[in-house]
Structure 1
Amino acid sequence: MIRLANVLIIDANADRSAALKERLARGGYHSGVALTAAQGMETARTEHPDLVLIGTSDEGDAVDLGCRFKGEPDTADIPVVLAVDRLVAEQCGRCLDNGLDDVLNIGCDDAELFARMRPLVRLATMHAELRHRAAMARRFGVAARARMTNAEDTPPAILIIGDDAAPVAAILDGCGDIVQAQTLYDAEELLVRRNFDAAVLSFAQEPEGLLSFCSQVRNNPRLFNLPMVLLAGLGTDAADAYRRGATRVLGRPVEPLILKAAVLTLVRRQQLRWSIRGALNDSLADATRDPVTGAYGRAFLEAYLASRIETAKSQDRHLAVVFFAAPNIDVVRQQFGDDAGLHLTQQVGQWITGLLRAEDLTASFKSNEFCVVLPDTPVHEAEVVMHRIAGVLAYTDFAVREVYQPIKVWVQVGCTVIGAGDTLDSVIARARQNLD
């Protein structure tokens, strides 16, 4: 059975951990259980799960146990979440101060549970991709960072949206660059102009279109990772808010320290994503790069993908492979010259990369053709990505050097996911079967 992620539950309460394991299984997560802190630490060192959920520790304080994970090099990059029966402000503050990744009320409904877990699992995917890409780069003689556990120490930018922003701004005062937007329209304008590490939506009366705004942000290729905290009134359907893209829903009134911890924890996570994105670029060097397009070259792709396929099969993980071809680039080359064809090819590759997540890999496969590898991505999600990128490319007017007219590309696509008996050749052949 394909696993969305491997979760380690550490809880001295055997009945509660068994119930949580069964609940996670219904959502596609594979869980292991450790009843003692010592067993949990040893399992984490040897198996390196995607996520650790800590309930009651047999050694005392659960936050202290989380600190042990963050303090060991082998486990520091595993997201650690405290699973509690109710949120306590002091405990949330301690988790923030000690670098834990979240505090989750385990009595929440499934919509919140899985919505809160997804970005943490995706963060684990980024960490795994960083390790995998660095190991592959070493085979090509390229030194690349394999681990990132701390975000760059830069003041965050936080956007507070709504007609009740002042109390939130007061709570977050001194935590970074706090920017306020009175309306959703003002927020849209700001999000176009600059980057933010998190957004908080705080309205005395929730306006029409609030959840549509959340969906719009989540579906924007540039903003889809932006953490959004929604301060919800009594009439808000929290489950629907999570489905529409909210990262965290907190009911009003909320204790100031709980709100502060929630926002700053998400800020830290977002800044860590940016740090990992930068480290992933370490492996893109002359020895691994295609000299024409600037993307990863075919030799690196084939070595990387072969390794990724074996990992996906051995760990029962999703792995999707997508191909994009633009055959009419040859027509542009014939009509306007080699430099025009080169410039257009480079732009197509850059657009594809720009529309993907940081952990997805883009490589030049052959003339006018790119391969994209999407780790931990099921086929239905890969197809959405494929068609979205193909649509953007097809409707874009490209500006090409020394060509004084807009240029369009005709895009062909192919997609597949890894199966039990697959090899590198079978995967590539199946993904490209609609291109030749």
Structure 2
Amino acid sequence: MTGRILVVDDVATNRIVMKVKLAAACYAVDQADCGEAALAAARAGRPDLILLDVVMPDMSGLEVCRRLKAEPETADIPVILITALTDRASKMAGLEAGADDFLTKPVDEVTLLARVRSLLRARDTARELRQRGEPALGFAEAAATFAGQERPGRIALVAPGPKGAVLWKTALDDRLGGEVSILPRDAALMGVGSEEGEAPDVFVIAADLTHRNEGLRLLSDLLSRPATRNAATVMILPAGDGERAAIALDLGAHDILYDPVDAQELALRIRTQLGRKRQADRLRASLQAGLEMAVTDSLTGLHNRRYALFQLDRMIARPGRGVAVMLLDIDHFKQVNDRHGHSVGDAVLSLVARRLRAQLRTGDLLARMGGEEFLVALPDSDRRAALDCAERLRASIGETPFLVGGEVPPLTITLSVGIALAAPGSSEAGQSLIDRADGALYGAKAHGRDQVTLSPLPAA
């Protein structure tokens, strides 16, 4: 099964008909016959999507939707309201209650299934991001809490002609505020839409621009480009064009609307998409922060041992002049901690890291391996270049005393450095290079410290 859907309707025949349609599309279907039963089923079963009738005997579908969106456990479950009501006020009330769509009976099966696919795809993406990000930073904020709390965002309007775009913009300016801009197709493809040069948060695109289906092709292009692939998209289609509405949703549109555009409805749908976009952005930021934490030393901000070993093996595998690996160890560091305390020792480690980084190229690898030991790896480096760099690093630490503040006097800190070289095309593993550099480091320590020692090449 591709998802579990809860169908809520007080008429058994309606539930059965809907279940047959969904089951034919390989969805698992649960059923509820009233509002209270729907709330209980949603809390207990956590369905992937809810199809909810508006008119029911115990409470309206609008009230059920409000309660679902108010509870953190059910707030992120997509809800499609299905009703015989056709008036505009009912649709606006449904969208304001938090529903993702409002479909009028009899429901077009093609449009319904396309909408279901679209919402399930969006929820799966958010769920995956949340699961990856939560273990790192504990991000666990319900989707519904974002809407209305963030600034309106950047909205880009791509319409067939300036007249239509101006009408959209005028209507949205009165209801959304913020930055609503009119973009030609080419500017949209470049991801341009704000003074800061950032891509818009939401694109509102007419299906037909200069040519028929040009808006649909633009949608595909936007989703394929890094600058705009995470933006939300609302497609505007001719009235009654359910076939192309389904195509737009399957291409990746986040929402659809039909001409003539109702300005209030468009504003409501944009707010919903902005809320989801904000949530997804935060989840991605949480995930990125978690990934960085996993490969970063928290004290110095340098890469850690795990990252260094992985990157070193990649560096050796690349064609080039060779790779130089250095292990650097702060001499007599224990005495710093014993005399001045661990807070001063931490400050020294951070300052050492800063000075080392300042001496290295952009493509060089610098990592803290643990304690007072650091690793440097130089791609495209030979013996002379490695020795020159090692002497610069040693001098950057030993020639200028460290000022850590407080009542601590300037501290003289020195480094011992061991170097191991991998010849071009070498098959030597990164850990083997590190072991040889460690042996050279031991030699530097044994011969008086504050010096550089080079490991001999391994026997052929």
Indicate the TM-score class for this superposition, using the shorter chain for normalisation: 0.5 to 0.7
Q: Deviations over 1:289-323 (max 9, x none)?
A: 4769979x79xxxxxxxxxxxxxxxxxxxxxxxxx
SS of 1:165's equivalent? Answer: helix
* CA distance in structure 1 between the aligned counterparts of 2:237 and 2:190, rounded to whole angstroms: 23
1:249 to 232, 256, 262: 256
Counterpart mapping for 1:279-290 below 5 A: 279-281=286-288, 283-284=290-291, 286=293, 288-289=294-295
* CA distance in structure 2 between the aligned counterparts of 1:6 and 1:195, rounded to whole angstroms: 35
SS of 2:173's equivalent? Answer: coil
* CA distance in structure 1 between the aligned counterparts of 2:204 and 2:16, rounded to whole angstroms: 35
Q: Shift in Å at residue 66 of structure 1? A: 0.6
Match of 1:277 in 2: 284
Contact persistence 2:207–2:215 (CA under 8 A): no
- Compute the TM-score of the two structures, normalised by the length of structure 2: 0.57
Amino acid at match of 2:57: D
Match of 1:201 in 2: 205
Please tell me whether residue 43 in structure 1 is matched to residue 29 in structure 2.
Answer: no
Amino acid at match of 1:330: I
* CA distance in structure 2 between the aligned counterparts of 1:186 and 1:245, rounded to whole angstroms: 20
Match of 1:121 in 2: 120
* CA distance in structure 2 between the aligned counterparts of 1:104 and 1:235, rounded to whole angstroms: 13
What is the percent sequence identity of the aligned residues? Answer: 24
Please tell me whether residue 188 in structure 1 is matched to residue 185 in structure 2.
Answer: no
Please tell me whether residue 146 in structure 1 is matched to residue 140 in structure 2.
Answer: yes
Match of 1:156 in 2: 153
Match of 1:335 in 2: 322
Task: Sort the Cα spacing of 1:252 and 1:155 in 2 relative to 1 into closer, same or farther, 3 A.
Answer: closer
Contact persistence 1:126–1:276 (CA under 8 A): no
2:219 to 214, 222, 225: 214
SS of 2:18's equivalent? Answer: helix
Match of 1:10 in 2: 8
Contact persistence 1:165–1:202 (CA under 8 A): no
SS of 1:154's equivalent? Answer: coil
Q: Shift in Å at residue 244 of structure 1? A: 3.9
Q: Deviations over 1:164-209 (max 9, x none)?
A: 1011112211403343335311322344842222111248865353
Contact persistence 1:5–1:50 (CA under 8 A): yes
- Aligned pair count reads 314
Runs of 5+ in structure 1 lacking a partner? 138-142, 299-323, 347-401, 403-436
Task: Sort the Cα spacing of 1:73 and 1:232 in 2 relative to 1 into closer, same or farther, 3 A.
Answer: closer
Q: Shift in Å at residue 64 of structure 1? A: 0.9
C-alpha RMSD of the superposition: 4.0
Contact persistence 1:218–1:225 (CA under 8 A): yes
Deviates more, 1:58-67 or 1:78-87: 78-87
- Compute the TM-score of the two structures, normalised by the length of structure 1: 0.60
Contact persistence 1:148–1:276 (CA under 8 A): no
Task: Sort the Cα spacing of 1:251 and 1:135 in 2 relative to 1 into closer, same or farther, 3 A.
Answer: closer
Amino acid at match of 2:151: T
Please tell me whether residue 238 in structure 1 is matched to residue 232 in structure 2.
Answer: no
Q: Shift in Å at residue 226 of structure 1? A: 2.7
Amino acid at match of 1:254: V
Match of 2:356 in 1: none
* CA distance in structure 1 between the aligned counterparts of 2:364 and 2:29, rounded to whole angstroms: 47
Match of 2:22 in 1: 24
Task: Sort the Cα spacing of 1:185 and 1:211 in 2 relative to 1 into closer, same or farther, 3 A.
Answer: same
* CA distance in structure 2 between the aligned counterparts of 1:59 and 1:252, rounded to whole angstroms: 35
* CA distance in structure 1 between the aligned counterparts of 2:124 and 2:35, rounded to whole angstroms: 25
Amino acid at match of 1:73: P
Contact persistence 1:158–1:176 (CA under 8 A): no
Deviates more, 1:45-54 or 1:269-278: 269-278
Deviates more, 1:173-182 or 1:37-46: 173-182
Q: Deviations over 1:212-239 (max 9, x none)?
A: 1121112334433433223223696434
Deviates more, 1:242-251 or 1:68-77: 242-251
SS of 1:66's equivalent? Answer: helix
* CA distance in structure 1 between the aligned counterparts of 2:255 and 2:100, rounded to whole angstroms: 13
Match of 2:268 in 1: 261
* CA distance in structure 2 between the aligned counterparts of 1:54 and 1:345, rounded to whole angstroms: 56
Match of 2:233 in 1: 228
Bigger RCO of structures 1 and 2 (CA < 8 A, at least 6 apart)? 1
Task: Sort the Cα spacing of 1:125 and 1:182 in 2 relative to 1 into closer, same or farther, 3 A.
Answer: closer
* CA distance in structure 2 between the aligned counterparts of 1:86 and 1:337, rounded to whole angstroms: 74
* CA distance in structure 2 between the aligned counterparts of 1:79 and 1:235, rounded to whole angstroms: 24
* CA distance in structure 2 between the aligned counterparts of 1:205 and 1:130, rounded to whole angstroms: 34
Please tell me whether residue 64 in structure 1 is matched to residue 58 in structure 2.
Answer: no
Runs of 5+ in structure 2 lacking a partner? 327-359, 367-388, 390-460
* CA distance in structure 1 between the aligned counterparts of 2:363 and 2:208, rounded to whole angstroms: 51
* CA distance in structure 2 between the aligned counterparts of 1:115 and 1:338, rounded to whole angstroms: 56
Contact persistence 2:117–2:250 (CA under 8 A): no
Amino acid at match of 1:28: C
SS of 2:31's equivalent? Answer: strand
SS of 1:104's equivalent? Answer: strand
Amino acid at match of 1:335: G
Deviates more, 1:160-169 or 1:86-95: 86-95
Match of 2:371 in 1: none
SS of 2:20's equivalent? Answer: helix
Task: Sort the Cα spacing of 1:169 and 1:148 in 2 relative to 1 into closer, same or farther, 3 A.
Answer: same
Contact persistence 1:130–1:147 (CA under 8 A): no
* CA distance in structure 1 between the aligned counterparts of 2:36 and 2:240, rounded to whole angstroms: 44
Please tell me whether residue 74 in structure 1 is matched to residue 91 in structure 2.
Answer: no
Contact persistence 1:9–1:17 (CA under 8 A): yes
Task: Sort the Cα spacing of 1:4 and 1:294 in 2 relative to 1 into closer, same or farther, 3 A.
Answer: farther
* CA distance in structure 2 between the aligned counterparts of 1:341 and 1:235, rounded to whole angstroms: 60
Match of 1:166 in 2: 166
